[in-house]
Structure 1
Amino acid sequence: MAEQREKLLEIKDLKKHFQVDKKIVLKAVDGISFSIYKGETFGLVGESGCGKSTAGRTIMRLYEASSGEVDFQGQNVHGKKSKRELKDFNRSMQMIFQDPYASLSPRMTVKDIVAEGIDIHGLVSTKKERLNRVNALLETVGLNQQHGNRYPHEFSGGQRQRIGIARALAVDPEFIVADEPISALDVSIQAQVVNLLKKLQEERGLTYLFIAHDLSMVKHISDRVGVMYLGNMAEVASSDDLYHRPLHPYTQALLSAIPVSDPEVERSREQIVIEGDVPSPTDPPSGCRFRTRCPLAMDVCANVEPEWQEYTEDHWVACHLYNDKYNDEYKARQTAQVTS
């Protein structure tokens, strides 16, 4: 049961707004709430520009939150903290970045890149201990000791991402934000990196926030999945529930676009096409943000923002179709279609 598991991270009405100029505010993340349980992988998906990477960086405190809370082990990440508390927090939470080409310093050897966190947190006392720890980390991610003396430009994209993973592991974190860690890699390498992350999770008891736009890969790695649209959460559920019983029209459309290997199934299934362009986060639609593209939109969707509700056990959705207070219009429409 989800409620019996230990919550490692709880996000409460988190917002991150950017002031573009005196009059324009970009609402990248605009009031999201969900929890991540200890030892699980929580997948966060959505179209490009939906705010998922900004959410990950705000959770990590790379961006200061505009409002809301990020509670890590019961402590507010964005609350006022001493330098010591921040240092301990930074050790507990680490990040794997999307671009393995841009996230590694070209002027540092791999050995020094991996050891940077070790040095900052004073985890070893001698150069020999430092070297032994770096070598062990390189071997853990599938590289060898000789790689430590080379520079990032001497490696392939997949190898550089392994270096990034080793750097994140160096301080023994409990929680890792993986921000689209495979999107810049060749398809043949993506599965290797995902399998490495799963192996490390089993061995070290890690908890992941895995941000991606590839829904098929997210299904493979995630225990639970959250779907974002234009700065808001549309749906959160276990991986099985979300992929077999999606509730939100946006989730249904995303899942219908995933290719299926069986040609018979592919021909017979209905693909839901989302019309129109994603609205600007500087001027989001009133009410439900998806309503301008939703094939099931009702009059109420333009005026009332959907409530974030637990529709079934640990399956959350923000949609008026699942609120008895507002869905009479949809039921009446369905009845009219049947009788016409």
Structure 2
Amino acid sequence: MGKELFKHMRKREYPCVCCKKRTHQRDRRTVTAAQRLVLQKWTVGDVSEDEVLCSLCRVKSSISNPDSALHIFQSFQLLHLQKTWAKPMIVVTTSGYYLSVLGPYVAKNNDAAILSHIMKTNKEDVLKWIEERDVFVVDRGFRDSLTLLEDLGLVSAMPAFMKKGEKQMSTADANTSRLVTKIRWVVESANARIKRWKFFDRVLPSSQVPFISDFIKIVCGISNKYFPPLSTGCTEEDSLVAAKMQYLSRQINQLKEEVEERKLDTRSAIWKHPDDLQDFPRLDEDQLRELTCGTYQVKLASSYAEEHFGSGCDIMVHKEDPSLIRVRVTFFGYDMMREA
């Protein structure tokens, strides 16, 4: 029995912390304390003292040198994949001011795992920035970290999901998502501002990977100093818009009830070209802003229309009654049709 157990232990394999390949026991080398600190910088989660390195990663990347952070990172990804994707975690305020740039992290880690790692390890003393009942506005990629935020006493705001079996969101969920999007557009615009720099609109050589965080911090610092805030509304106007949106979000969707009651979505339609609509109202920009509760959707309208018309699509309309129009959009080259 003892000999069999000894043979089993000799044949046991151990996974390499870098390439995840299983290696023979005689090839394993325990990760040193210096190497562990560098590996934790590029991975999400702690690297324990029991982790091992295979001979390939140790030799090809010169990982035996604990001061070679670049070689360790190359061993972790570049030697085993054709291309490495890295993403930073950027924290911004509701005005678009950049607070911090964390990472970059290997892109195989999702946003929820990265946020959980930042909170649990208290990166850059992030727990000192926040107070109880602070609101974190996140997208759906952070859904697995909502429990952690709640345990920390924070409030999370995230767009709603469609429930299983639903073809569209309920009125309450759709309105909740609109309230979150009204605030979160600043985050997307802040990320777009960084991508406008030519240095970040291309694939970077591996020699620049360890310095990505520094480069992004420089860009964010320049943006904070010299670029205007993304959101410059006054407190009084913002309060009025917020009160209006809160009020509208609690109203009944009368159009939805009318469509379901009259079963308009099941009726046959006579589709015509939009030019045949003689009495369709023409709205100026102020009226559009009043309908959309802001300028974000109005600014996106031109690029959205150009994207659809440029790729080829056909818009047809059907007039149910003088106050209701049914619209169908057909995309050329795709087996796709959308009605509203």
TM tier relative to shorter chain: under 0.3
Determine which structure has more spread, i.e. the larger CA radius of gyration.
2
With structure 1 as the length reference, what TM-score do the two structures score?
0.21
| Larger strand proportion of the pair | 1
Higher relative contact order (CA 8 A, sep 6+): 1
With structure 2 as the length reference, what TM-score do the two structures score?
0.21
